[in-house]
Amino acid sequence: MATLCTCTAFLSVLGPVSALLAADYWTDSDLTCPVASLAAVAGLLLLCWRRLRRRDGGTDRRVCVLVLGDIGRSPRMQYHALSLSRHGYRVTVVGFLDSKPHQDVLSEENIHILPVTEVKGVRAGPRVVTYVTKVAVQSLQLLRVLLTTELQSHILMQNPPGLPGIAVAWLVCVLRGSRFVIDWHNYGYTVMALSLGATHPVVRLAKWYEHFFGPLAAHNLCVTEAMRNDLQNNWGIKATTLYDRPAAVFGETPLTLRHELFVRLGETHPQFQHGGSGDPEAETSVFSARDPADGSVALRAERPALLLSSTSWTEDEDFSILLTALQEYEGFVEAGASLPSLLCVITGKGPQKEHYRKLIDSLRLQHVKICTPWLEAEDYPVLLGSADLGVCLHMSSSGLDLPMKVVDMFGCCLPVCAVHFSCLHELVKHEENGLIFRDSAELAEQLKSLLSEFPRSDGRLAAFRRNLRTSRGQRWNDNWDQNVLPLITAAR
């Protein structure tokens, strides 16, 4: 706020002072032109500044939600937008529109999506040249968009990615008198370090950038207590912990909806199709069948177990761990273990997807099938609520964030096996709502143990599901109203 007050005072005084200087020296022919020019420029700057900050009756009810990434793959920021809209705010969501956002966001009349194009930068020359040009052009594009929209009371920005968004959003808030809020999902420089290394000059610059601009926000949110403590102790930032919570759409899927999804997925993914003999009139999937006589749906007694994971296919998730564990599981079955076949579904888009698809295609598994569909936002919670077990391979680059995919799984009462990192215990309780593993061998043993009694309802897997049913905490809306709404309304 000190910076904002200083800027305001400077611009307020600049115009009148320049005008006085012009009048004082008007008779001096040598100074008339430059002083008059100075006064004109100062006057125009003051006029533009006042126009940028011109408030109207709706300003206090407008909020910009900024994602310098794919809106469709930013569920937490979509939830922010829906929560703001639910409280009567008009929300402008700015970000990349690479995949379809949730239908609730698209259909909400108080939410307007303003897409921006991801800048690639100059492709020729060293990587640093590409990166610098990308940041420069993206900054100008973002600055133009944020300065030409209606005046917003707040800009709520996701970080990471925060370069160049944090600096641009902060500058716009200074110029326009808006309040700047950062939602810390992780640290951008630690994500970059996964591919470039911690000592790379770009990573060191990104770390300085976050340390410098991060404390300039009016309010800060974060995803874990561990991150809140780290922001306070090492960055001097006081943040409010807003745990990810499942939205209302996440829950156990009714059998009929499961069957309809399985049949629909079978049209494009043969792993969902039932290849055995039976009534040719029956509508079937590998998991379920609809009786043509009365339309009722039943699960097959000899169905495979449905194992589900989701990913952005980035460096912070090593899917070779899962693939190796599935090969070991295949070995257990071949050795005579009483285990069900597996259908492993891995959803998501990202830069490493083709790399892993090639690895998957090279596997020769008889009892394990793997498919990698991209699901519409409406189908994802239905599939989660239909699965038997979830797997999470998210290894936090900072050790301070939690995987939202597990939050969604728990919202569907879906037990998980999750790879260990330092603050995972804030979400996954070992032997209570799932299991924590450290390598592929441990994951394979956990799959063997949990699925040895499938599909019976008296084993450990079923016990974890019962624990999730009885220990449900707050949903997103209540959590948001308690922690974020007071920050937004306090400045009105």
SS3 per residue for 172-183: HHHHHCCEEEEE
Cα(414)–Cα(252) distance, integer angstroms: 8
Cα(202)–Cα(243) distance, integer angstroms: 30
* Burial per residue of 81-111, b for 16 or more beta-carbon CB atoms within 10 angstroms, e otherwise: bbbbbeeebbbbbbbbbeeebbebbeebebb
Query: What per-residue confidence (pLDDT) applies to 23?
Result: 45
H/E run at residue 112: strand 111-115
Residues 128 and 201: beta-carbon distance below 8 Å: yes
Cα(417)–Cα(426) distance, integer angstroms: 15
Query: What per-residue confidence (pLDDT) applies to 417?
Result: 96
| Paired strand residues for 16 | none
Query: What per-residue confidence (pLDDT) applies to 27?
Result: 45
CA atoms within 13 A on the CB side of 195: 11
Residue stretches of the chain with pLDDT short of 50: 1-29
Query: What per-residue confidence (pLDDT) applies to 178?
Result: 94
Cα(104)–Cα(16) distance, integer angstroms: 50
Helix, strand or coil, per DSSP, at residue 36: helix
Cα(471)–Cα(115) distance, integer angstroms: 39
Tokens standing for 106?
A: 């698209």
Please state at what angle helix 29-52 crosses helix 2-24, rounded to 10 degrees: 150
Intra-chain end-to-end CA distance of the chain, in Å: 15
Tokens standing for 439?
A: 């390598």
Residues 71 and 92: beta-carbon distance below 8 Å: no
Query: What per-residue confidence (pLDDT) applies to 7?
Result: 45
* Burial per residue of 454-467, b for 16 or more beta-carbon CB atoms within 10 angstroms, e otherwise: bbeeeebbbebbeb
Query: What per-residue confidence (pLDDT) applies to 47?
Result: 60
| Paired strand residues for 283 | 290
* Tens-place pLDDT, residues 58-85: 889 999 999 999 999 899 999 999 999 9
Cα(481)–Cα(492) distance, integer angstroms: 16
**Would you tell me how many other CB atoms lie within 10 Å of the CB of residue 133?**
16
**Would you tell me how many other CB atoms lie within 10 Å of the CB of residue 344?**
26
Looking up tokens 């808006």 gives: 178
Cα(10)–Cα(444) distance, integer angstroms: 65
Cα 351-103-371 angle, rounded to 5 deg:
40
Cα(415)–Cα(389) distance, integer angstroms: 6
Cα(144)–Cα(155) distance, integer angstroms: 15
Query: What per-residue confidence (pLDDT) applies to 42?
Result: 67
Cα(95)–Cα(404) distance, integer angstroms: 20
Query: What per-residue confidence (pLDDT) applies to 411?
Result: 93
Cα(190)–Cα(184) distance, integer angstroms: 13
Tokens standing for 158?
A: 């996701």
Cα(235)–Cα(225) distance, integer angstroms: 15
Tokens standing for 275?
A: 């290849």
DSSP result, 412-477: TT--EEEE--TTGGGT--BTTTEEEESSHHHHHHHHHHHHTTTT-SSSHHHHHHHHHHH-----HH
Helix, strand or coil, per DSSP, at residue 370: strand
DSSP result, 120-148: ----SS-HHHHHHHHHHHHHHHHHHHHHH
